[in-house]
Amino acid sequence: MQDGRQGQISGENLLFLTDEQLRQGIEAMFFAYRGFTADPDRILEDMAYGRAHHRAIHFINRAPGTTVNNLLNILGVTKQSLNRVLRTLIADGLVESRVGTADKRERHLFLTEGGAALEQRLSDAQRARMRDAYRAAGPEAVGGFRRVLEAMMDSEMRRTYTRLKESGA
């Protein structure tokens, strides 16, 4: 079926591409993503917020003044879905929505002081997890980690990711 049928494909060393290796990578992604989200989830469950709020807060912090439409593209959800989240964040005073100056149809999103404080708590926890993982795996591993993840993205997402990366560096 799927086990141990790799063989030597035209003499190359493709041992890392066996089905078993790939399956282990798949399961590693599954279990690691659980760890990746665990700490922010724990912080948020006390409040009336969830992972969707975290994502919105993260990217508003990352790209202050972003428009709703831009955030929509980054998050890959519908405007109705995002709007439900934004409405509560604005009502709770964590996010501010300012009418655009050049184009008054647009709303530009910013974190308030309270929003920035929550962002800090959440990202501190997530960065601590990432830092420990990086430290345990070593600097050589980090490059490989990032390269595989980037190659795994859909090309459109990779463009979004790269744009964000370069704006922050």
Chain positions contacting DNA, by CB under 7 A: 48-53, 55, 67-69, 72, 76-87, 97, 99, 102-107
- Please tell me whether residue 117 binds a second copy under the rule CB under 8 A: no
Nearer to DNA, 60 or 85 (CB): 85
Q: For residues 52 and 83, what is the distance between their CA atoms, to the nearest angstrom?
A: 11
With CB under 5 to 8 Å by kind, the binding choice for 92 among DNA, a second copy, none is: none
From 8, 11, 33, 57, residue interacting with a second copy (rule: CB under 8 A): 33
Q: What is the DSSP string of 94-162?
A: SEEEEE-SSSTT-EEEEE-HHHHHHHHHHHHHHHHHHHHHHHHH-HHHHHHHHHHHHHHS-HHHHHHHH
Count, residues in the chain: 169
- Please tell me whether residue 149 binds a second copy under the rule CB under 8 A: yes
With CB under 5 to 8 Å by kind, the binding choice for 64 among DNA, a second copy, none is: none
Q: Are 142 and 134 in contact (CB under 8 A)?
A: yes
Distance, first Cα to last Cα, the chain: 46
Cα 118 to chain centroid distance, Å, stands at: 17
With CB under 5 to 8 Å by kind, the binding choice for 112 among a second copy, DNA, none is: none
3-state helix, strand, coil in the chain (%, to 5): 70, 5, 25
From 102, 103, 113, 138, residue interacting with a second copy (rule: CB under 8 A): 138
Interacting residues toward a second copy by CB under 8 A: 1-3, 5-6, 13, 16-17, 19-36, 38, 55, 58, 62, 76, 116, 120, 123, 126-127, 129-154, 157-158, 160-161, 164-165, 168-169
